[in-house]
Amino acid sequence: MRPPGFWDAPPDAPGWQARALSPLGRLYASATARRVRRPGHRAGIPIISVGNLEAGGTGKTPTVIALLQRIAGAHVVTRGYGGSLEGPVRVDETRHRAEETGDEPLLLSAFAPVWVSRDRAAGVRAAEAAGATAVILDDAHQNPDVRKDLSIVVTEAARAFGNGRCIPAGPLREPVEAGLARADLLLTIGAPAAQATFGEGWGALLDERLPPRIMGRIMPLRTGMPWQGLRVYAFAGIGRPAKFFDTLRGLGVTLRGAVQLDDHQPLGEALLARLEREALAENAQLVTTEKDMVRLPPSWRGKVLPLPVRLEWEDSAALGPALSRIGLG
């Protein structure tokens, strides 16, 4: 499902829907607060959490990839959202399907060993036994199963924390101040104008309560693909499909269609056949995200082009000292 529009309203004008739902949001926040107080497993290797305060996509997967490229020998432990496996099980991209592991673990498995485990502590034990030098916990900021040595909260600089209310009154899994109090670093992702907007908005509002901030930007991976002028029919089942379509426009494609799917939506034969017919009618190439690509049936992967993206650090001055502090410098 797509988030309601009022979730993106300014914090000082959240709208009547958010105000009406705020009592339920406070109950949600209380449940989260009780959960995160539980003691967790202490591992024998550094544990890095990459999470967010909001529901939906904020750039966690590119952040995990960027950290994997920096930390030799790290493994990933993830719940495997959308998959059927309980785990702990190491993801094998040649054997597993997205229906079993979830799409993000399959994508991440191209960069490092990935363990799917509903019990994060069991996943960390499995990674440690397999020789991991460190573990990156994907989407675990509100999960207390394992004690973290470094917690990174990721948010979009432009949208940031939405209207500042908790689900269902807003996009938050917990109040901003409570979530940031447990964070060692805040990564804001976006173009310079969006970074400035964050600084003038939430940055000024929270002031000294912000953890050290690092900045980055999601950029297309330079593969040599000649995107300029290519007729494209795009589809995306991610948290913010519009960002993907804007990225394609920025590459100079001729966008003949932009189909927004639900986040993690299954890509069945009927849906794909319809998308193919619509693309053919526009004499356009089907294009999708890396995350959607791993959910495609094998017979479709030769018909669709992926657009890979990566996190580029714009200001990561605080990251090096933070990694050094936990023995990964």
What is the DSSP pairing of strand 254-260 with strand 231-236? parallel
**Interior angle at CA 279, CA 96 and CA 1, nearest 5:** 55
Query: What is the C-alpha radius of gyration for the chain, rounded to an integer number of angstroms?
Result: 20
- Using an 8 Å Cβ cutoff, are 112 and 74 in contact? yes
Token digits of residue 126: 């499995």
Binding residue ranges for ATP: 54-61
Strand order in the sheet with 47-51: 89-90, 114-116, 74-78, 134-138, 47-51, 150-156, 185-189, 213-220, 309-315
For residue 305, the surrounding DSSP H or E stretch is: strand 304-307
Binding residue ranges: 54-61
Comparing CA positions, the residue from 186, 219, 226 lying closest to residue 176 is 186
SS3 1: coil
Give burial (CB, 10 Å; 0-12/13-18/19+) of 265: middle
